[in-house]
């Protein structure tokens, strides 16, 4: 029998011993044997700290985010390969989509989150604290990756999502992970991890995997490590209380199964969209993943007068659910994960039935399954119960059957509904279906203390709502009390869990050097030339410009009022100033910002592409007519960004603008954002440039890739120059739907693919040479370039066809040519 290997210290290792059989949840067949016997957890932790942590910690947030994006794209292409294995866990196609595609989607979400972090390995948190009168002593907070390993103990119900939703966060933060997957489904986790490692996208040590029992896995951890646990509340509490966890104050994030509740608002009577949405939501949460979700609805809280309507409606919906083999397209619910889980669910159901009645289903009865044997698989039919007296019969608030089981319970008033929802002693999620915002507000405000997330569902949100049971990457996933008291994901909040916050103190200049963000009051560095002349890469925090001065006249103020229609009395009616803070006619605050921009903006075209916005702005004292101002503009921070569409790669530069009066007193300050273009790695093409590069090309040069000779390369470029002005006819062979994306790629700084299979070129052999020598080919290329420039000078609006990129105008041809020349000149080492 195949033994499932563990990923240990960069190597795949089979466990010792007999191991634990893993069964197909549908057929009962043995899939493989998993185990962890013989693994040295101390070695694994040490490897993660010394190899994985060091590799990730040195990367910037932007680099880590791009790593996640690359990994997400890689797994997205392979995602369908994991579905057959997922079906063997009892999951349907929809269940598998939630687990597999949902997990990959979380990677994408955290890849995008990098935009909220600097391009450094550390993060500067919050605003500075001024600790002195003169401003020479300030404080701030930085956050750095912990120098340990994140150990993730995952549950069986989401073998992919459970891993990726945790790892995406710790990887972005700069910490490696040891994933301890649950034995019943770890074969699916292992399949994806093997692909992740083979991709080479993650640095060494970033990920290790244990597929068997994790007894002792927490013993070697220290104060720099982090534990996250998903599973039963009892197991979580036991692990959280281990002496090593307590003695070293190791952060322990616990997400436990909880008795989540969904409430039907009093206004949501039969016939309303909210009633129908509620019924559908309950049905979904009972049957998706066969109810094996930590966020599933276990308690259905409805108005007393609507209990019968709800019971009938849910029963009708459950009666339509087809159970069986997930590979059959007609199946809507698969099985539980194992026969052992069936036995566990039955035990909990027996407890519930001591206080509840059955409204739908029969746990002891038989039911039909599609394309499967009900006796061999771990199938369980949906079971709807009723607890008529939920305030006295409390087992419903204490007992969870981790399957397709849920209990209806009545309430008389909304306050009773809130109280019932709280009797679960803490849950991951609650929801309410109502179209009455007053009801929604009362429930949310009063119930929020006991729930990690609350969904308000109504007809307006239903179309785009992700539903009661779907945690979202940018929101926290966790809950108080029974739910574990932890938080996962949560966007930026989740990343902070793996970072150590440290308060730093010193002068503004020192803290500017440490944080790489300009702190007000720090020494500035006057730029040799105007800062707007620099590309994004060359701008540094602290780079500054002090402008010339401008006197604000009475006419300026009145003209600005007339232009903007801002006739506030302080700017226009000097007879109304008595008893105000103003002594004379004051300039508009926004005039000062505009005048300040006029002082610091460089008028010529350059790397600055656009004004991107304003982060903060304060007006500290009035400026009256005939008073003089000047500006000091200082680079505060740089933020990388993705370029989209037809725009050149750029970053956001935050400029700290200080406006002073003639006495050098600070009048106003603001943070101005600009888009600044990055340096282009490709040379601009000109005749002199071509002559220079071609003079370096000799007949005996060998290509660094491909099979072209120098003459073949020159004739190749000359051929496409002639094509661009119509001397050589061509048909566009790229489908129309791809043309826009290909043309947008010309604006990027990504080089051309080295071994591109061009449709016009011979496959595996060189083209026939057209000219007698390399020297003649060079002359012909220069001639073709001259003709190209002359053609578009005479026909500036012309568009001509390119075989791959479609119809191109002069701008697009120039972008393509500079990439094309760079590609082939690098091929022969003359760039």
CA distance linking residue 561 with residue 27, whole number of Å = 79
Question: What spatial distance separates the first Cα and last Cα of the chain, rounded to whole Å?
Answer: 57
Other C-beta atoms lying within 10 Å of the C-beta of residue 315: 16
Residue with tokens 């002068």: 507
CA distance linking residue 279 with residue 262, whole number of Å = 10
H/E element holding 63? helix 61-78
Residue with tokens 């746990």: 363
**Cβ-Cβ contacts under 8 Å for 748 (sequence gap 6 or more):** 643, 649
Residue with tokens 């994030």: 253
The answer to whether residues 41 and 55 touch, using CB atoms and an 8 Å cutoff, is: no
CA distance linking residue 469 with residue 459, whole number of Å = 18
Selection from 437, 191, 115, 428 nearest residue 295 by Cα: 428
Selection from 315, 310, 311, 260 nearest residue 285 by Cα: 260
**Cβ-Cβ contacts under 8 Å for 681 (sequence gap 6 or more):** 749, 751, 822
**Cβ-Cβ contacts under 8 Å for 361 (sequence gap 6 or more):** 318, 381, 382, 383, 384
**Cβ-Cβ contacts under 8 Å for 212 (sequence gap 6 or more):** 4, 6, 15, 19, 20, 34, 35, 36, 37, 183, 186
CA distance linking residue 549 with residue 555, whole number of Å = 17
Enzyme catalytic residues: 255, 294
Four-CA torsion 357, 360, 365, 370, nearest 10 degrees: -160
- The two beta strands, 488-489 and 476-477, are antiparallel
Residue with tokens 């790892």: 167
């Amino acid at each position: 029998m195949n033994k499932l290997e563990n990923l240990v210290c960069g190597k795949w290792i089979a466990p010792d011993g007999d191991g634990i059989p893993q069964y197909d949840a549908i057929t009962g067949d043995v899939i493989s044997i998993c185990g962890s016997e013989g693994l040295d957890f101390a070695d694994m932790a040490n490897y993660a700290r010394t190899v994985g942590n060091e590799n990730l910690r040195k990367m910037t947030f932007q680099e880590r985010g791009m790593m996640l994006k690359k990994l997400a794209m890689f797994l997205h292409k392979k995602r369908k390969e994991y579905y057959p294995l997922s079906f063997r866990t009892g999951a349907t196609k929809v269940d598998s989509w939630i687990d597999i595609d949902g997990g990959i989607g979380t990677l994408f979400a955290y890849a995008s989150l990098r935009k909220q972090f600097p391009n450094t390995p550390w993060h500067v948190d919050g605003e500075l604290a001024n600790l002195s009168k003169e401003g020479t002593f300030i404080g701030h907070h930085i956050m750095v990756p912990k120098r340990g390993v994140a150990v993730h103990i995952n549950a069986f119900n989401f073998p992919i999502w459970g891993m990726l939703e945790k790892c995406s966060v710790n990887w972005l933060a700069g910490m490696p992970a040891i994933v301890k997957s649950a034995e019943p489904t770890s074969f699916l986790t292992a399949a994806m991890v093997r692909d992740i490692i083979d991709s080479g996208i993650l640095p060494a040590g970033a990920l290790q995997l244990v597929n068997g029992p994790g007894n002792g896995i927490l013993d070697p951890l220290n104060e720099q490590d982090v534990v996250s646990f998903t599973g039963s509340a009892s197991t979580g509490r036991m692990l959280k209380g281990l002496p090593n966890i307590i003695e070293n104050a190791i952060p322990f994030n616990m997400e436990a199964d909880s008795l989540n509740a969904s409430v039907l608002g009093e206004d949501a009577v039969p016939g309303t969209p909210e009633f129908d949405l509620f019924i559908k939501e309950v049905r979904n949460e009972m049957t998706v993943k066969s109810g094996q979700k930590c966020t599933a609805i276990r308690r259905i809280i409805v108005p007393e007068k609507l209990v019968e309507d709800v019971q009938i409606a849910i029963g009708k919906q459950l009666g339509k659910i087809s159970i069986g083999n997930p590979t059959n397209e007609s199946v809507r619910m698969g099985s539980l994960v194992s026969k052992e889980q069936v036995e566990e669910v039955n035990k909990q159901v027996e407890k519930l039935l001591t206080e509840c009645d059955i409204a739908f289903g029969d746990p002891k009865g038989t039911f039909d399954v599609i394309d499967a044997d009900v006796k061999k698989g771990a199938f369980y039919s949906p079971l709807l119960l009723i607890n008529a007296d939920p305030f006295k019969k409390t087992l419903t608030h204490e007992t969870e059957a981790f399957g397709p089981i849920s209990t209806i319970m009545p309430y008389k008033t909304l306050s009773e509904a809130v109280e019932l929802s709280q009797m679960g002693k803490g849950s991951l999620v609650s929801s309410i279906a109502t179209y009455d915002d007053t009801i929604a507000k009362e429930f949310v405000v009063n119930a929020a203390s006991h729930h990690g997330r609350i969904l308000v569902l109504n007809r307006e949100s239903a179309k785009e709502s992700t539903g009661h049971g779907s945690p979202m990457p940018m929101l926290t996933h966790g809950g108080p009390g029974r739910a574990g008291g932890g938080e996962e994901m949560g966007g930026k909040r989740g990343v902070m869990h793996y970072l150590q916050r440290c308060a730093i103190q010193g002068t503004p200049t020192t803290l500017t050097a440490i944080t790489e963000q300009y702190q007000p009051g720090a020494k500035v560095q006057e730029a040799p030339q105007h800062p707007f002349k620099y590309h994004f890469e060359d701008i540094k925090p602290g780079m500054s410009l002090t402008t010339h001065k401008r006197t604000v006249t009475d006419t300026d103020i009145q003209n600005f009022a007339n232009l903007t229609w801002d006739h506030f009395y302080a700017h226009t009616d000097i007879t109304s100033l008595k008893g105000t803070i103003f002594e004379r006619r004051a300039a508009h605050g926004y005039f000062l910002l505009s005048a300040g921009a006029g002082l610091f903006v460089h008028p010529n075209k350059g790397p600055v592409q656009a004004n991107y916005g304003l982060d903060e702005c304060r007006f500290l004292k009035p400026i009256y007519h005939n008073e003089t101002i000047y500006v000091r503009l200082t680079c505060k921070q740089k933020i990388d960004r993705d370029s989209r569409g037809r725009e050149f790669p750029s970053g956001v530069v935050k400029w700290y603008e200080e406006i002073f009066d003639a006495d050098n007193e600070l009048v106003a300050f603001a943070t101005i954002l600009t888009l600044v273009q990055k340096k282009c790695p490709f040379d601009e093409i000109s005749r002199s440039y071509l002559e220079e590069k071609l003079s370096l090309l000799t007949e005996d040069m060998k290509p660094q890739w491909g099979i072209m000779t120098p003459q073949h390369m020159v004739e190749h470029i000359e051929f496409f120059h002639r094509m661009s002005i119509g001397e050589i006819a061509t048909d566009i062979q790229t489908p129309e739907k791809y043309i826009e994306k290909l043309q947008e790629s010309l604006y990027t700084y990504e080089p051309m693919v080295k071994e591109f299979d061009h449709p016009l070129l011979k496959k595996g052999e060189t083209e026939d040479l057209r000219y007698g020598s390399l020297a003649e080919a060079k002359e012909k290329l220069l001639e073709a370039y001259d003709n190209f420039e002359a053609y578009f000078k005479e026909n500036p609006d012309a568009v001509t066809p390119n075989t791959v990129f479609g119809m191109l105008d002069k701008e697009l041809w120039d972008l393509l040519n500079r990439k094309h020349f760079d590609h082939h000149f690098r091929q022969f080492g003359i760039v």
